[in-house]
Structure 1
Amino acid sequence: MSTDVTPSGARHRASAAPDASLPVQAVDGSVAQWTERYTHALMDTFGAPQRVLVRGEGPYVWDADGRRYLDLLGGIAVNSLGHAHPTLTAAISAQLGTLGHVSNFFASPTQIAFAERLLSLAQAPEGSRVFLTNSGTEANEAAFKLARRNGGPDRPRVLALEGAFHGRSMGALALTHKAAYREPFEPLPGGVEFLPFGDAAALEAAFADGAGTQVAALVVEPIQGEAGVRPLPPGYLALARRLTAEHGALLILDEVQTGMGRTGSWLAYQQPEIGGGIVPDAVTLAKGLGGGFPVGALVAYGERTATLLGRGQHGTTFGGNPVAAAAGLATIAVIERDGLLDHVRTLGATLRARISGLGHPLVTDVRGAGLLIAIELARPVAPQVAAAALEAGFVVNPCTPTTIRLAPPFVLTEEQAGTFVDFLAAVPADLGADA
Structure 2
Amino acid sequence: MSTHLFPTYKRWDLTFESANGDTITTPDGREFIDLMSGIGTVNMGHNHPEIVGAVEKQLHRGWHGSNFFQYDQQEQVAAQLADMTGLHRVFFANSGTEANEAAIKLARKATGREEIVSFTQSFHGRTYGSMAATGQAKIHEGYAPLPDGFTYAPYNDTEQAEKYITSDTAAVIVETIQGEGGVVPGTQAFLEKVDTLAKANGALLIIDEVQTGMGRTGEQFSYQKFGLDPDIVTVAKGLGNGFPVAAMMGKEALQSYFGPGSHGTTLGGNPLAMAAVHATLNVLNTPGLLSGVEAKSKHALQHLREQCEASEMVTEVRGAGLMIGIACGQPVAPILTKLQEKGVVALPAGEKVIRLLPPLTISEERLAQGLDTVMGAIKETAKTKA
The two structures have a TM-score, normalised by structure 1, of 0.85
Matched, 1:323 2:272: yes
Once the two structures are TM-superposed, the CA of residue 355 in structure 1 deviates from its matched residue by 1.0
Q: Deviations over 1:302-341 (max 9, x none)?
A: x222332221011001111111011001011112225211
Letter in 2 for 1:430: A
Q: Match of 1:183?
A: 141
Q: 1:348 aligns with which of 294, 297, 301?
A: 297
Letter in 1 for 2:216: R
Alpha-carbon contact 2:16-2:24 (below 8 Å) kept: yes
Runs of 4+ more than 3 Å apart: 431-434
Alpha-carbon contact 2:24-2:32 (below 8 Å) kept: yes
**Distance in structure 2 (CA, Å) of the matches to 1:387 and 1:311:** 50
Q: 1:111 aligns with which of 55, 74, 88?
A: 74
Once the two structures are TM-superposed, the CA of residue 103 in structure 1 deviates from its matched residue by 0.5
- Which secondary structure state, in structure 2, belongs to the residue aligned with residue 259 of structure 1? coil
1:389-408 correspondence runs (5 A): 389-408=339-358
- Which secondary structure state, in structure 1, belongs to the residue aligned with residue 167 of structure 2? helix
Query: Do the aligned partners of residues 156 and 136 (structure 1) sit closer, same or farther apart at CA in structure 2, a change above 3 Å counting?
Result: same
- Which secondary structure state, in structure 1, belongs to the residue aligned with residue 142 of structure 2? helix
1:244-263 correspondence runs (5 A): 244-263=198-217
1:139-218 correspondence runs (5 A): 139-152=99-112, 155-207=113-165, 212-218=166-172
Query: Do the aligned partners of residues 87 and 66 (structure 1) sit closer, same or farther apart at CA in structure 2, a change above 3 Å counting?
Result: same
Letter in 2 for 1:400: G
How many residue pairs match? The answer is 382
Gaps of 5+ in 2: none
Tell me how large the CA RMSD over aligned residues is.
Answer: 1.4
Letter in 1 for 2:353: T
Q: Deviations over 1:72-124 (max 9, x none)?
A: 00001100111111111100000111132111011211111001101111133
After the TM superposition, which of the residue ranges 101-110 and 418-427 deviates more from structure 2? 418-427
Letter in 2 for 1:62: T
**Distance in structure 1 (CA, Å) of the matches to 2:176 and 2:346:** 22
- Which secondary structure state, in structure 2, belongs to the residue aligned with residue 218 of structure 1? strand
Higher relative contact order by CA 8 Å / sep ≥ 6: 1 or 2?
A: 2
Matched, 1:373 2:324: yes
Query: Do the aligned partners of residues 425 and 156 (structure 1) sit closer, same or farther apart at CA in structure 2, a change above 3 Å counting?
Result: closer
Q: Match of 2:234?
A: 284
Q: Match of 1:26?
A: none
**Distance in structure 1 (CA, Å) of the matches to 2:36 and 2:255:** 34
Alpha-carbon contact 1:81-1:331 (below 8 Å) kept: yes
The two structures have a TM-score, normalised by structure 2, of 0.96
Q: 1:420 aligns with which of 342, 355, 370?
A: 370
Q: Match of 1:121?
A: 84
**Distance in structure 2 (CA, Å) of the matches to 1:388 and 1:218:** 40
Please identify the structure whose Cα radius of gyration is greater: 1
Identity %: 39
**Distance in structure 2 (CA, Å) of the matches to 1:307 and 1:368:** 38
**Distance in structure 2 (CA, Å) of the matches to 1:174 and 1:256:** 17
- Which secondary structure state, in structure 1, belongs to the residue aligned with residue 145 of structure 2? coil
Q: Match of 2:195?
A: 241
Q: 2:39 aligns with which of 68, 76, 94?
A: 76
